[in-house]
Copies of this chain bind each other. A is one copy, B any other.
Amino acid sequence: MVRYKAVIAYDGTNYSGFQTQENGHTVQAELEQTLKKLNSSQRVLIHASGRTDAGVHAWGQVIHFDLPQERELEKLRHALDTQTPADIAVRSVEKVADDFHARYDAVEKTYHYRLDISRPRVPFKRYYAAFYPYTGVLDVELMRRSMADLVGTHDFTAFCAAGSSVENRVRTIVEAGLTLDEDNQELLFVFRGTGFLYKMVRILVGTLMKVGQGRLPVDTIEKALETGDKKFVGPTAHPEGLYLMEVKYDKNNRAEG
């Protein structure tokens, strides 16, 4: 048995999400079907760093899987890349230790969130950035001040979607940045941390949009973290703006979430 780690990019538009589920067209099912073809029709199970929801994209999703034999890496990558649909790309494949785990060994994840603030909406971005539909200016400086409260180790219970069964909701955010592009057409949120709860990034973005509009106070994130109370947070932002950009690993440093 040889264990492989692969870095995957996908356009989530036409998927019900990453993880296999009944009645859903998923990225996992496409990858497993292709691996099965490359493995003498024997089933191959893949494990990802985490699931992504319907419509959410990935540039740097990481998976692991086992094959009975050693393969030539670039040949395996090329076969996987070209035999999966055009909305999935296999960026790299490497051999890893037999106990490497794409989910449990992840120590840091980076998410991007693209918010289209152009007028009118740019048609080419409609599946690749969320559209900010309201009139009135978003105060980027106010949003940046509010985001600064995220950096550090906190209990993120207030930012966890209902239905999550995760018990430990303490995570460390290393970076929370917000940039406006040259043409004032798009906002890019960057979140980097040890792990993220279910829908946490989208709830953070939904909250920050309300702060930028002046509809939630600048200290609402601080209060949500202190109290764990969902009354301080905004709605969940749309999935099409979200990208899982990178997952980092360090065998000596296992992380949760």
Contacts and interface: CB of A to CB of B under 8 A. Distances in A.
Nearest to A58: B123
A89 interface: yes
Nearest to A88: B123
Contact of A89 (B57, B120, B128): B120
B86 A10 contact: no
B90 A120 contact: yes
Contact of A123 (B89, B120, B121, B124): B89
Taking the full assembly, how many copies of this chain does it contain? 2
Of the candidates A57, A89, A123, the one having the most CB atoms from chain B within 10 angstroms of its own CB is: A123
Interface string A43-84: 000000000000001000000000000000000000001000
A126 interface: yes
A11 B122 CA distance: 9
Listed from nearest, the 9 A-B pairs whose CB atoms lie closest are A11-B123, A89-B120, A81-B120, A87-B123, A89-B123, A86-B126, A11-B124, A9-B123, A124-B128
A124 B127 CA distance: 9
A144 interface: no
A91 interface: yes
Residue in A9, A10, A81, A124 with the greatest tally of chain B CB atoms within 10 Å = A124
A75 to B, nearest CB: 14
Interface string A119-151: 011111010100000000000000000000000
Q: How large is the interface on A (under 10, 10 to 19, 20 to 34, 35 or more residues)?
A: 10 to 19
B86 A121 contact: yes
Contacts of A81: 120
Contacts of A10: 123
Contacts of A121: 86, 89
A81 B123 CA distance: 11
Contact of A11 (B86, B90, B126): B126
A10 to B, nearest CB: 6
A126 B87 contact: yes
A122 B11 CA distance: 9
B88 A57 contact: no
Contacts of A90: 120
Contacts of A128: 124
A12 to B, nearest CB: 9
A128 B129 CA distance: 14
Nearest to A90: B120
A127 to B, nearest CB: 8
23 contacts: A9-B120, A9-B122, A9-B123, A9-B124, A10-B123, A11-B123, A11-B124, A11-B126, A57-B124, A81-B120, A86-B121, A86-B123, A86-B126, A87-B123, A87-B126, A88-B123, A89-B120, A89-B121, A89-B122, A89-B123, A90-B120, A91-B120, A124-B128
